[in-house]
């Protein structure tokens, strides 16, 4: 099993550009989520999904969209990148819910100029 994979590992964007961060898991996990990590802030939940076709907002959802068309994939879309979205983004998955062990991907480091 590859576990949770994220692409790309690094990305530089200009303000106003859009892009999609990819996340995939091969563990048949129902629950998937996206976090951002900023210095001194820990990890903050952006969006999460409890299963295919179901998504919900986390603590800091503004500026981000998600969809969950398959169990395996949970892409995160930045519609119009802003410098405040410079961060490290982590995707995570768990078998059935938030109290199950969360497995994190290696992260995507995004810089918005």
Partner 1 sequence: DQQVKQNSPSLSVQEGRISILNCDYTNSMFDYFLWYKKYPAEGPTFLISISSIKDKNEDGRFTVFLNKSAKHLSLHIVPSQPGDSAVYFCAAISGNTGKLIFGQGTTLQVKP
Q: Decide if residue 58 touches partner 1 (CB under 8 A).
A: yes
Q: 10 Å Cβ neighbour count for 69?
A: 10
Which of 19, 27, 43, 52 binds partner 1 (CB under 8 A)? It is 43
Integer Rg of the chain from CA: 13
Q: Nearest CA to 43 among 76, 106, 88?
A: 88
Q: Is 35 in the site for partner 1 (CB under 8 A)?
A: yes
Q: Which residues contact 62 (CB under 8 A, 6 or more apart)?
A: none
45, 52, 67, 86: which one binds partner 1 (CB under 8 A): 45
Which residue in 32, 76, 90, 112 binds partner 1 (CB under 8 A)? 90
Q: Does 54 bind partner 1 (CB under 8 A)?
A: no
């Amino acid at each position: 099993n590859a576990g949770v994979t994220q692409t790309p590992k690094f990305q530089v964007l200009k303000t106003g550009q859009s892009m999609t961060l990819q996340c995939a898991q091969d563990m048949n996990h129902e629950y998937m989520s996206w976090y951002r990590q900023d210095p001194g802030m820990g990890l903050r939940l952006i969006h999460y999904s409890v299963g295919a076709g179901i998504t919900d907002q986390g603590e800091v959802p503004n500026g981000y969209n998600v969809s969950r068309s398959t169990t395996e994939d949970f892409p995160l879309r930045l519609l119009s990148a802003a410098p405040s979205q410079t961060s490290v983004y982590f995707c995570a998955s768990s078998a059935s819910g938030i109290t199950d062990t969360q497995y994190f991907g290696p992260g995507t480091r995004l810089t918005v100029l």
